[in-house]
Structure 1
C-alpha cells in the first residue's frame, strides 16, 4: 500500500524536510499560508494542497512543522483541523517546538479521533534535513512511536525515544538551552579574540580542534544566514527560536519551581549578539546593511 505523506509548515526547516521527502518514493502534499513557499515546494517536486482539510483527507502521515503552540492548535483543532479531517488510523508527527502541555493536549485530541500523534521534534537544521541527517526525538504511545520510526528513515540519521507525550518537548527544549548557551559564549569568545587581533577563522579552527568543539563552532555562520532569512520573511523577534525556545524553557522550569540562571542570562543577551554579528557580516561581506 502506498503511503501519502504531507508536510504542514514550509518555513526554513519544514521546506527542507519536504524537499528531502520528495526525493523518496510516493507523493508529498504540502500546505502553508505563504503562497510563495508553496510555489517553491512545487518546484521541488511536492504537491500543494488546495487547503488543509483536503490535505488531511488525502494523507496517511502528516509532519507538522509550524512555528509555535498557537499555530499547532490552529492546524490540529477545529472542524477543519487535522484531527477531525484525517482518516482513522492516520499519524501526525509533531515536529514543532512546543510546550509539553501542548504536546499532551494535541495527543489527547488526536486519540479522541482515532489518530496517532507522536512528538517528533528534530535537531540539526535545514541542511541536515536535506541530507537525511537529522536527530528526531520521539515521544508518545509505544505503538504510535513504532509506527513513526519507519517514517523517520528518510530524514533521520538517528532517533531517540524519550517516553510518553510531553517528554520529547522537554528534551528538545533542553537541547536548545544547551545549544544557545554555548552559542552565546561563542559570540563572546569571538569578540574577546577579536579585541586582541585574532581572526575569527583562526579562533574557530582552534576551537574546532580542541575540547570546545561543538555544532555551533562547526556550523559557524548558520545563525547569520538564519537571521537574515527571518528578516526577509518578516519573522517577529519573539518567534525566532533563540527567543521563543529559551522563553519556553524558562516557563517550564518555573512550572517545576526550578531556577535556570544561565538560561535567563542567555535569553537576555543572545538575541542582540546574533543581530550584531549577522548585520556586521552582511556589511563586511558586501551586503546592503
Structure 2
C-alpha cells in the first residue's frame, strides 16, 4: 500500500478517517493526547503510536486532524515537532480547519525541512469519512496537490484543488459561513413552527421538498448528536466548529475588510440554539418515528 499512514488527532473525524484507512487496506498509526482513543481504534485495524517520534520514524504520510491551528503548530513545529523529524519527501495532510495565514505558515515550515504540506479541510463529517464520501479541498503547490489526490482517495467522494497554500482554508471557511448561517436560520424556523403548533416532522418534510432544502435540512439532528458527543468528551465550547469556525470567518473578513454581518448574528445565537435543541427531549415533534430526520434523535 506504499507509504505508512499516520493519523494524529482522534476526535470524531480523525477516528473516522483512521477507520476508513484501515478498512481500505492500510494499517495506520494513530496518536492522540488521550491514549484511550488510540487504543480503541486497535480493534479496527489501527496501530496505536507511543508518541510523535514513532510517527516520524515510521510514517511517510501524516494526517493532522487536531482541533485548531495552535494544536497543529504543537504537532508540527519545534525541535520535537514532525516537520523537523519526518524524512525528506514525506507528506503532511492538514485536515484541521485553520486560517489561510496559518496554513501558509505551516506549509512554509514543512517546506523548509523538505516535507510537503497540503492543506486538506473536509466537508461531510465522520459518517461520510467512514464511507469514503468526504469532499476534500486541497491547497498547496501543484506537485504536492497532485501527490495528495491519490493519498486522500480512500476517504474522498470528490476532491477540489483550490490553488496555492491558504486557498483551501478560505474555501472551507466560506463553506462553513454558508452552512452555519443556514443552520442558524433552520433552528429559528423550527422554533417558529413549534410555537405555532407545527411539528418538526411536518416542517422538515416541506423543507426537504422545497426551495429551502439543504444539507442541514437533510441531516437534521446531526449537530444535536455532535453536541452531545462533545459534551460527553468534555470538548470546550471554543473548539466546536460552530464557534471556532465562525470566529475564523470573522477574523478573515476583518483582515480583508469585508463585511460579513451574518457571521456576527450566527456567533451570537447558534451555539445556544444547538445546545438547547440537543437537550430538548421533544422539540415540537408530532410523529413520524420512522423518519430518521424527523426529529433530533
TM-score normalised to structure 2 length: 0.94
How far, CA to CA, are the matches of 2:249 and 2:53 in structure 1? 33
Gaps of 5+ in 1: none
How far, CA to CA, are the matches of 2:216 and 2:33 in structure 1? 31
How far, CA to CA, are the matches of 2:232 and 2:284 in structure 1? 19
Would the aligned equivalents of 2:88 and 2:114 in 1 still touch at CA under 8 Å? Answer: yes
1:81 alignment counterpart = 81
| Structure 1 range deviating more: 95-104 or 35-44 | 35-44
How far, CA to CA, are the matches of 1:235 and 1:284 in structure 2? 28
Q: Is 1:235 the equivalent of 2:246?
A: no
2:184 alignment counterpart = 184
How far, CA to CA, are the matches of 1:35 and 1:157 in structure 2? 30
Q: Is 1:272 the equivalent of 2:272?
A: yes
**Change in 2 beyond 3 A, CA 1:7/1:239:** same
Would the aligned equivalents of 2:199 and 2:284 in 1 still touch at CA under 8 Å? Answer: no
Partner deviation per Cα, 1:159-218 (whole Å, 9 max, x = no partner): 001110001011101111000000000000101111111110111111011111111001
Partner deviation per Cα, 1:62-114 (whole Å, 9 max, x = no partner): 11000001000000001121101111100000000001111000100100110
Q: Per-residue deviation at 1:283?
A: 9.4
Q: Per-residue deviation at 1:26?
A: 2.9
Q: Is 1:91 the equivalent of 2:91?
A: yes
Q: How many residues are aligned here?
A: 285
After superposition, residues 1-289 of structure 1 pair within 5 angstroms as 2-281=2-281
2:293 alignment counterpart = none
How far, CA to CA, are the matches of 2:284 and 2:36 in structure 1? 30
Tell me the secondary structure at the aligned position of residue 144 of structure 1.
helix
Structure 1 segments of 4+ aligned residues over 3 angstroms from their partners: 281-285
Q: Per-residue deviation at 1:255?
A: 0.4
RMSD over aligned Cα atoms:
1.4
TM-score normalised to structure 1 length: 0.96
Tell me the secondary structure at the aligned position of residue 263 of structure 2.
helix
Q: Per-residue deviation at 1:2?
A: 2.6
Gaps of 5+ in 2: 286-297
Would the aligned equivalents of 2:277 and 2:283 in 1 still touch at CA under 8 Å? Answer: no
Q: Per-residue deviation at 1:281?
A: 3.3
Partner deviation per Cα, 1:116-143 (whole Å, 9 max, x = no partner): 0000000000010000000000000000
How far, CA to CA, are the matches of 2:283 and 2:135 in structure 1? 34
Tell me the secondary structure at the aligned position of residue 153 of structure 1.
helix
**Change in 2 beyond 3 A, CA 1:8/1:162:** same
| Structure 1 range deviating more: 240-249 or 35-44 | 35-44
